[in-house]
């Protein structure tokens, strides 16, 4: 199941118009904790594995943010561990590295109705695809094409719309006051024929104050990154630094989608990028690789293996063996500890 579908499925429970019983929690994962004990966060969160999800995401976040060392907290419920929700609890402690986001833009430009309506139909198709568990995805063209026929048909319409409305899509992404329209623009821009020209726009969107805008920009960039690596003749270059910054975010989709994009960018083992990851991202990647829902842990795990200089087949073998998987993660964590001891 894609991250987008995860979010849609859980949102249907958390924000339904009619009262419904929230899904039960299968796993709770914490990330971003550096000096604050996890038990203090658990105490104010007031839910445990097996309990229903909190009915109010905002109230739970505010309770955590009242703790002395906490600057920000974000909760994200995703699907699924043995039919139950996974609750991710992200914490940004005061004084820790964190990405900086821009102020809300104030421009009045909006998307053409044709583009907006096409995206709404796409979301409806994605929801149907998630219910059918038919969400296999092909990124080889540099944009997402899903296996679900109706969702794929909607995506194929974006190819024509992106080129027809390229100028206004770029304007909306950078300048529109409407976050929904900026988020749609970030997704549809990924379908332009000449992807090289929109990379700067999508990288700019990674500092947008709205997490859904960043989410869609990361999705578009992850697909373009795969094309750039596998077809270097396209001349597409993507600055990985903004993606690395997002690995320190309290927002779960920032971290997970940035890790996917970075996994795509490191497919050919660029040494300079791997060096940057060793210097700047070991701790958050180790956290993510230890998540117990393995599909969510995989991108970070792959990155750790590459940062350790392991061959792809060795990384794949370690992934399938719990003891070898734990050993790889511990070796990476040890590398981080060794770096911290250097004068």
Q: What is the pLDDT of residue 334?
A: 92
Using alpha carbons, select from 266, 268, 263, 286 the residue that is nearest to residue 336. 286
- In the chain the domains, ranked by start, together with CATH numbers, are 3-93 (3.10.20.310), 97-239 (no CATH), 269-343 (no CATH)
Q: What is the pLDDT of residue 338?
A: 53
Could you give the CA distance from residue 283 to residue 32 in angstroms, rounded to a whole number? 9
Q: What is the pLDDT of residue 65?
A: 98
Q: What is the pLDDT of residue 15?
A: 31
Buried/exposed 232-251: b ≥16 CB within 10 Å, e otherwise: eeeebebebebbbbbbbbbb
Q: What is the pLDDT of residue 229?
A: 97
Q: What is the pLDDT of residue 17?
A: 33
* 336 contacts 328 by C-beta, under 8 angstroms: no
Q: What is the pLDDT of residue 336?
A: 67
In what side-by-side order are the strands of the sheet with 70-81?
25-31, 84-93, 70-81
* 64 contacts 77 by C-beta, under 8 angstroms: no
Q: Which two tokens stand for residue 205?
A: 């969107």
Query: Average pLDDT of each block of 10 consecutive residues along the chain (343 residues)?
Result: 38 37 92 96 96 94 97 94 93 96 98 98 93 91 96 97 98 99 98 98 99 98 97 97 98 98 97 97 97 97 98 97 98 75 42
How far, rounded to the nearest angstrom, does the alpha carbon of residue 181 sit from its chain's CA centroid? 19
Could you give the CA distance from residue 154 to residue 160 in angstroms, rounded to a whole number? 11
Q: What is the pLDDT of residue 81?
A: 83
Q: What is the pLDDT of residue 20?
A: 57
């Amino acid at each position: 199941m894609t991250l987008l579908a995860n979010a849609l499925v859980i949102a249907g429970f958390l924000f339904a118009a009619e009262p419904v019983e929230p899904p039960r929690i299968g796993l709770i994962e914490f990330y971003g904790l550096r000096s604050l004990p996890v038990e203090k966060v658990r105490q104010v969160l007031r839910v445990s594995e097996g309990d229903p999800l909190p009915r109010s995401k905002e109230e739970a976040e505010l309770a955590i943010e009242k703790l002395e060392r906490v600057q920000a907290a974000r909760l994200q419920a995703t699907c699924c561990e043995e039919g139950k929700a996974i609750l991710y609890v992200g914490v940004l402690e005061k004084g820790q590295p964190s990405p900086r986001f821009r102020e809300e833009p104030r421009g009045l430009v909006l998307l053409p109705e044709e583009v907006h309506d096409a995206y709404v139909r796409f979301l409806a198709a994605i929801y149907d695809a998630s219910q059918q568990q038919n969400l296999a995805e092909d990124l080889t063209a540099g944009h997402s094409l899903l296996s679900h026929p109706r969702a794929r048909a909607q995506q194929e319409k974006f190819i024509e719309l992106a080129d027809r409305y390229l100028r206004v899509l770029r304007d909306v992404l950078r300048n529109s006051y409407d976050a929904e329209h900026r988020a749609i623009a970030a997704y549809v821009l990924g379908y332009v024929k000449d992807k090289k020209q929109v990379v700067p726009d999508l990288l700019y969107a990674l500092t947008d104050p709205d997490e859904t805008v960043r989410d869609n920009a990361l999705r578009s960039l992850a697909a373009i990154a795969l094309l750039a690596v596998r077809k270097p003749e396209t001349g597409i270059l993507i600055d990985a630094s903004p993606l690395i910054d997002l690995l320190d975010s309290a927002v779960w989709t920032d971290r997970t989608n940035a890790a996917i994009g970075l996994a795509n960018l490191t497919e050919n083992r660029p040494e300079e990028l791997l060096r940057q990851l060793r210097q700047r991202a070991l701790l958050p990647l180790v956290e993510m690789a230890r998540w117990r829902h393995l599909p969510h842990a995989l991108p970070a795990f792959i990155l750790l293996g590459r940062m350790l200089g392991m061959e792809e087949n060795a990384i794949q073998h370690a992934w399938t063996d719990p003891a070898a998987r734990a050993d790889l993660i511990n070796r990476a964590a040890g590398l981080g500890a060794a770096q911290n001891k250097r004068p």
